[in-house]
Amino acid sequence: MKVADIINQKRQEGKPSLSFEIFPPKKSDTLSNIDETLELLCDLHPDFISVTFGAGGSTRNSKTVEIARKIKETYGVEPVVHLTCLYYTRAEISDMLRELECAGIENILALRGDRNPDYPAKNDFLYASELVEYIRSQGNFSVSGACYPETHLEAENPVMDIRNLKKKIDAGASHLISQLFFDNEVFYQFCDKVRCAGIDVPIDAGVMPVTNKAQIERMVNMCGASLPTRFEKILKKYEDSKESLLDAGLAYTIHQIVDLIANDVDGVHIYTMNNPAVAKRICDSIRNLV
């Protein structure tokens, strides 16, 4: 089932969609190491699970497809496969699309991909909008795109960033998942701006649970998300106690999600970091809201 249809169905029920992101195990690990994670996450009944994708040449990409197939066939949950393009030719992307089609996977999150100094970029695709258009020309796939509430780090300015986002929609993206953020007002203001720009597809709010200070700081540096004062106080007060930071951080995340749902967000997409215990604590707290 296509993600846009899933979200529209949830809308008719008056509820937002709930989804998770996971990543394949490292090269040295086997797929069996993620089976328990998948089982626990799928038991939480998400509407879909997205599976990340590596840079050019990574053997993790075959694991991405294998995990997505397992999510769909074994657990009956719809998978969304991340697909990056900066380090691939059109022929290579076509091969990947055929592989996804043969696996019965119809939902793709189209991304340019982060720059990686270990791999030479190729010139067939320079922007995610070009990948969206190409995927739509190659089969009956449902294509999602990424969006950045606090502006993509490489964007010239917020206006140009939204114009580029509109190009993804015009190219055929029918659903958006936001980069993580910690201030809901930032997300609400972003949604107002993109709606004014004529973007009317569902937008899922990307939320990352706070469990580890170093992890959060690393992610913030990578994506440019700002930290509200009340959030920084939590990090500072509990940085020396792993258990206290976990409790305080999850309380913050749950409050953030409840506020999003109260404000009629289309969907909540949780960056689980492959931690089903954290996802379960959140889901238990919002069980009657989604």
pLDDT (mean) for 40-50: 95
Residue 29 confidence (pLDDT): 61
Examine the pLDDT at 158 and tell me if it is beyond 60: yes
Residue 31 confidence (pLDDT): 63
State how far the Cα of 61 lies from the Cα of 118, in Å rounded to an integer: 16
Model confidence pLDDT, tens digit, residues 214-240:
888 888 888 889 999 999 999 989 988
Would residue 101 show up in a list of annotated catalytic residues for this protein?
no
Kindly name the residue from 13, 21, 92, 243 that is annotated as catalytic: 21
State how far the Cα of 111 lies from the Cα of 120, in Å rounded to an integer: 17
Examine the pLDDT at 59 and tell me if it is beyond 70: no
Contact in structure between 68 and 126 (CB atoms under 8 Å)? no
Within 8 A by CB and 6+ apart from 255, the residues are: none
Residue 213 confidence (pLDDT): 83
Count of other CB atoms within 10 angstroms of residue 283? 22
pLDDT (mean) for 54-80: 81
Distance of alpha carbon 220 from the chain centroid: 15
**Residue 75: pLDDT band by 50, 70, 90 thresholds?**
very high
Half-sphere exposure of 86 (CA within 13 A, CB side): 15
Within 8 A by CB and 6+ apart from 254, the residues are: 282, 285, 286
- Is-above-0.95 flag for pTM? no
